[in-house]
Structure 1
Amino acid sequence: MVFVKRDSQNQICAIFEDQSEEGLEEVTSNDPELTAFLTRCALDKKLYFLKSDLDLIRVIEDLIQILMEKNIIAITDFPAPAIEKLMARQKIRSQFENVAQIIQED
């Protein structure tokens, strides 16, 4: 058995292994609401990691650009698949910068 805490809309907002505080409700481990809550938590965690990965990708792109500008590395130092990806990202970023400039001019 699992103990759950509910919010003001009667949705599960926390789970506990034991009845460590008042107002907890006991549910079975295969309760559909518990399963839905755990699924939402897993999705939230995946989205958090995805955002973190995207933020890190931007840092890595900027780092590569700085190292190339300082002639520490060259684009040819990378394997062909990496070059293709870097060039594609650079093209996409350039296109978005152009769109942003057009919007600002209006």
Structure 2
Amino acid sequence: RRLLDESDLAMARVLEDLVGVLVDKGVLRFTDLPEAAQKKLLARRGARTDVNGHSPLVGGEDVL
């Protein structure tokens, strides 16, 4: 069960980064996402900025 939980967390991070890349490349508009998804992504982006001290897609060894 622990392995699945860790995998879920890692997969959530991958999906979060994927959405960011698709938005940056103009393939997807952030506003195309459901409002609930937008709120969750914005909250995570803010939390990652707080933890990392910079934008989540700028630098950092764990960014794709």
TM over 0.5: yes
Task: Give the structure with the higher percent helix.
Answer: 2
Q: Given the alignment, which residue of 28, 39, 43 partners 1:73? A: 28
**What is aligned with 2:41?**
86
List gaps (5 residues or longer) in structure 1.
1-45, 100-106
**What is aligned with 2:51?**
96
**What is aligned with 1:53?**
8
List gaps (5 residues or longer) in structure 2.
55-64
Task: Give the structure with the higher percent strand.
Answer: 1
| 1:87 partner amino acid | L
* CA displacement, residues 40-61 of structure 1 (integer Å, 9 cap, x when unaligned): xxxxxx1110000001111101
Cα offset, 1:74, TM superposition: 1.0
Bigger relative CO (Cα 8 Å, ≥ 6 apart): 2
Q: TM-score, normalised by structure 1?
A: 0.49
Q: TM-score, normalised by structure 2?
A: 0.80
| 1:62 partner amino acid | D
RMSD value over aligned CA atoms?
1.3
> Following the alignment from structure 1 to structure 2, what is the Cα–Cα distance between the partners of residues 82 and 74?
13
Q: Would you say how many aligned residue pairs link Structure 1 and Structure 2? A: 54
| Paired residue secondary structure (2:53) | helix
* Larger Rg belongs to: 1
Cα offset, 1:98, TM superposition: 1.2
Q: Which runs of 4+ in 1 moved over 6 A?
A: none
